Amino acid sequence: MGEDSRVPPPSPRVPAAADGREAAALVIPPVLPESLLQRLHAATDAADAVTTPIPAISGSADGDIASPAAGGTGARPDQAAQAAADHGPAAAMRVTAQRRPGQRRPGPQATGPEVPGPKVLAGRRYRKAGAVVSVIVLIAAVSLAFALSRHTPAAAARAGATRGMAADWVAGQVSRAAIVSCDPVMCRALEAHGIPAAGLLVLKPGTANPLRSDVVVATAAVRGMFGGRLSSVYAPEVIASFGSGNLRIEVRAIAPHGAAAYFAALRADLRARKASGAQLLRSDRIAVSAGARRQLSAGQVDARLLITIAGLASLHPVHVVAFGDAGPGIGASSPLRSADLSATGGAPGASGYLRSMLAFLRAQRAPYVAAHAGTARLADGQTVLRVEFAAPSPLGLLGPA
């Protein structure tokens, strides 16, 4: 018989390597479908164009593409091709990335991570713009705070100076028998100027009642507590004023029976002061300077002074050199509470004259006791007897009798 044709041909052998060993077998990668390659290229181009972080790749509905979160390493080529064939364009993720100049437009569909669309990018731009605006507002606020901080020491110094002037005036001019109401800061300033705590009524929000006092020091804090009722109800008359604007401090006389009753009594007192001043001007025992004459005729002199001058003139002839001590920062409505007196026709030269006058002043009873009485030297060198009464001026002392 011939050669048995059923014997299979010999298996091809791998060529030997140069060193005598057999060469390793060649691994040929599988050929990917053209549609899948296009999608991969499109996804790569889109990823280069997007500057925002790429989200994690999630698996498909049927789990063909492994998710990195689930421990997978991405889609295998054969699985990607099968997924594209099974699910078609509806299963593929759309890539809408922003193109760079000169870059080709990616294909309409591509597999790969989802990138932000125009609405998402616009939202991010709005958020970035909002963040920029927030930073600008913050910088402006810091700049404003810095600018205000530069002026705060000066404003604090002005407020402190105004408070000091008001405290000094109240301590020197307001009767020690009067109760003074004030906010806590002002009350501490008044104590520092020698007013005892027993003579102060501290006003606090919710518990303030200035009617228990005789005088109220109206700072910005006090005005904030009472608003318009401070002048329309509690304390209608200003007897001294310091500073301006929000730093203004007013010393006001309390109206215990209300503003209407107070102004009615004030008008009646003004008429009585005019009448008493005219009576003093007719006395041959009282000589009056030109300026003092006008003030007496206008009713500007405190009733206590009018009564005191009449009493002194009954002992010795009196020359009224000048009236003074109107509260600072106010008009002519506040009565003049001091007078410079001398003997008729010259200075009080004799010591007996001064002793007699001072003895008379010190023998008086309230409300006619002078707050200060003593000699003073004027700018022209003249020595006078200065008599001064405390604020506020009482009303109704000059009755019909």
- Each residue of 183-227: pLDDT tens digit? 999 999 999 999 999 999 999 998 778 999 999 999 999 999 999
Q: Which of 253, 286, 306 is the last residue of a domain?
A: 253
Domain co-membership, 87 together with 175 = no
Task: Assess contact for 181 and 210: CB atoms under 8 A.
Answer: yes
Q: How many other C-beta atoms are found inside a 10 Å radius of the C-beta of residue 360?
A: 16
Give me the pLDDT at residue 325, please: 85
Is 208 in the same domain as 106? Answer: no
The conformation of residue 230, written as its DSSP 8-state character, comes to I
Same domain flag for 287 and 379: yes
Token pair of 309, please? Answer: 């001058």
**CA-CA distance, 14 to 350, in Å (whole number)?**
151
Going by pLDDT thresholds of 50, 70 and 90, the confidence category of residue 174 is very high
Q: Is residue 372 in a domain?
A: yes
Q: What average pLDDT does the chain have?
A: 75
Asked if residue 288 is part of any domain, the answer here is yes
Q: Which residues contact 123 (CB under 8 A, 6 or more apart)?
A: none
Asked if residue 235 is part of any domain, the answer here is: yes
Question: In terms of domains, do 178 and 62 share one?
Answer: no
For residue 150, pLDDT beyond 50? no
Do residues 383 and 310 both lie within one domain?
yes
Q: CA-based angle 320:323:324, to the nearest 5?
A: 155
Residue entry with tokens 């990668």: 29
Predicted TM-score of the model (pTM):
0.62
Q: Is 388 helix (H, G, I), strand (E, B) or coil?
A: strand
Shared domain for 205 and 228, answered yes or no, is yes
CB contact at 8 A, 50 and 115: yes
Phi then psi for residue 387, to 5 deg, are -120, 130
Does residue 95 form part of some domain?
yes
Q: Are residues 245 and 276 in the same domain?
A: no
- Residues 227, 275 within the same domain: no
Examine residue 135 and state whether it is found in any structural domain, yes or no.
no
Residue 228 to residue 226: CA distance in whole angstroms: 6
Report the SS3 class of residue 256.
coil
Q: For the residues 38-64, what does the mean pLDDT come to?
A: 47
* pLDDT at residue 118 in the model: 54
Domain membership flag for residue 268: yes
Residues 279 and 365 in one domain: yes
- Please name which of 237, 249, 239 lies closest in space to residue 165, comparing C-alpha atoms: 249
Beta-carbon-side half-sphere exposure of residue 382 (alpha carbons within 13 Å): 16
| Total of domains in the chain | 3
Provide the residue range defining the domain that includes 63.
Answer: 32-116
The residue among 91, 116, 141 that closes a domain is: 116
Q: Are residues 223 and 285 in the same domain?
A: no
What whole-number distance in Å separates Cα of residue 287 and Cα of residue 332? 23
Q: In which band, very low, low, confident or very high, does the pLDDT at 53 lie, cut at 50, 70 and 90?
A: very low
In the predicted structure, residue 364 carries a pLDDT above the cut 70: yes
Alpha carbons 249 and 178: distance in angstroms, whole number: 19
283 and 188 both lie in a single domain: no
Quick check: is 131 in a domain?
Answer: no
Distance CA 353, CA 357 (A): 6
Q: What pLDDT does residue 77 have? A: 44
Helices 34-49 + 77-87 axis angle, to 10:
100
Sheet with 372-377: strands ordered across: 286-288, 318-324, 338-343, 383-388, 372-377
Helices 259-281 and 290-297 cross at an angle (nearest 10°) of 140
Q: Is 146 among the domain residues?
A: no
- Which of 60, 89, 116 is a domain's end point? 116
Residues 85 and 192 in one domain: no
